[in-house]
Amino acid sequence: MDEVSKSSVTETLITENEQGQRLDNLLLKKCKGVPKSHVYSIVRSGQVRVNGRRADVSYRLQTGDVLRLPPLRIARIEQEIVAGAELKVTLPVLYEDDGLLIINKPAGIAVHGGSGVSFGVIEALRRQRPQARFLELAHRLDRETSGILLLGKKRSVLLALHEMFRDGGLSSSGRGADKRYQVLVAGRWMDPVRNVRLPLLKYLQASGERRVCVSEEGKAAHTVFRLLARWERFSLLEAQLKTGRTHQIRVHLAHLGYPIVGDEKYGDFALNKELPREGLKRMFLHAWQMRLPHPLDGRGLVVEAPLPAALSRFLQAVATKEKQDYGDKI
C-alpha cells in the first residue's frame, strides 16, 4: 500500500508485508500531513471501511483485505516544506541487503515524527526511497543519541529483529543482539567492569514531559559498564545493554552520580552550560557496535559506527588538557 490519495476516495489491497498491522498504525504511517485526531475520527465515524464494513482502530489487517479511505485534507504548504527537509537529511548506510538496512543515525534527529517533531529518520528514509515497499524501525534511539539503527525491509525480518531485541536482546530463542554504546560521564569512574541492576519507572512531569527514574516499582533493568579511559574530570565508558528500557543508560549513570556529559534531561546542568565553550554541543552517547545473527540466514553480523567527529574532537581536547590515569591514550 503506497501513500493514499488526498483528493478522492481510495481503495487499496493489503499486502503480505502489511499483514498483522493495526488499522490505526497503518493509516498514521500512510496518511502523511493528516492530523492524528482526524485519522482516528474518520475511522470511528465509519468513513474508513475494510472489506466494505466498518472497522475498529485496533483491527489487525489481513492479506487481501480491501481498505477504503475517504478524501483527506492536508496542509499542503507545510507538507512540501517537510518533504524538502526529509530529502536533505544525510543518513549514512552501514549495511544493507534485501531484508535489512542499518544506518548511522546523526544526533539531533528523532527516529520518527510526532510530539512536535515534524519528521524523523523513518519518514526521511521513506521519502528518499519511494520505491521501498516496506521499511520499518526495528528499535529506537533517543533523539540526542547517535549511532547504529536497524530497520526491516521485510515484515519477516522486522519480526525476527523484534524477537532479538525483546527484553534488551535476551530473546526466547537465545539468538539475541549485543548492543554497545560509548559514553562520556562527569566524574572519575573507578571500576574496570560494573554490573548495574536498578529497576526503572516511567512517569510524566506536570508539563507532560516523559521521564524515567530508579524505583522499586519499575521494570528490571541491567547495564554492564566497562571503563575505557579516565581523566581528572571525565571517564569514558562502554555501556552494554542487557535489557532495553527507555533512557536506561542515562538514568543508571545519573543515579550513580556519573551523569552523561551534555545530557539535558538527567545531566549536570551547570557543567552542560560550560560545554559549548569547550567545543561540545550535544550529549556524549553513541551506539557504536552491534553483534547479531542475521534474521534471515543466522550468519553473524558485526556492525560498527565510528565515533562522530564532534565527539572525537572533544575527547582529544580533554586528553590534551587533563592527565589520563587509566586506559589507552586517546
Q: Give the tens place of pLDDT for each residue, 82-131.
A: 445 555 678 899 999 999 999 999 999 989 876 555 678 888 888 888 88
* pLDDT given for residue 242 in this prediction: 92
Q: Give the integer Cα–Cα distance in Å for 23 and 294.
A: 29
Low-confidence ranges of the chain (pLDDT < 70): 1-7, 32-33, 73-88, 114-118, 167-175
> How large is the greatest C-alpha to C-alpha distance in the chain, in angstroms?
72
The catalytic residue among 142, 167, 191, 325 is 142
pLDDT of residue 94: 96
pLDDT at 87: 58
- Residue 83 DSSP class: H
pLDDT at 172: 42
Q: What is the pLDDT of residue 202?
A: 94
Q: Is 142 known to be catalytic? A: yes
Q: What is the model's pLDDT at position 175? A: 65
The reported pLDDT for the residue numbered 131 is: 86
Amino acid at site 90: T
Q: What domains lie within the chain, and their CATH numbers? A: 10-69 (3.10.290.10), 76-160 (3.30.2350.10), 176-327 (3.30.2350.10)
Beta strands in the chain (DSSP E): 10-13, 49-50, 53-54, 66-69, 93-96, 100-105, 136-137, 146-152, 178-186, 193-197, 200-204, 210-214, 222-230, 234-241, 285-293, 300-304, 326-327
Q: What pLDDT was estimated at residue 330?
A: 80
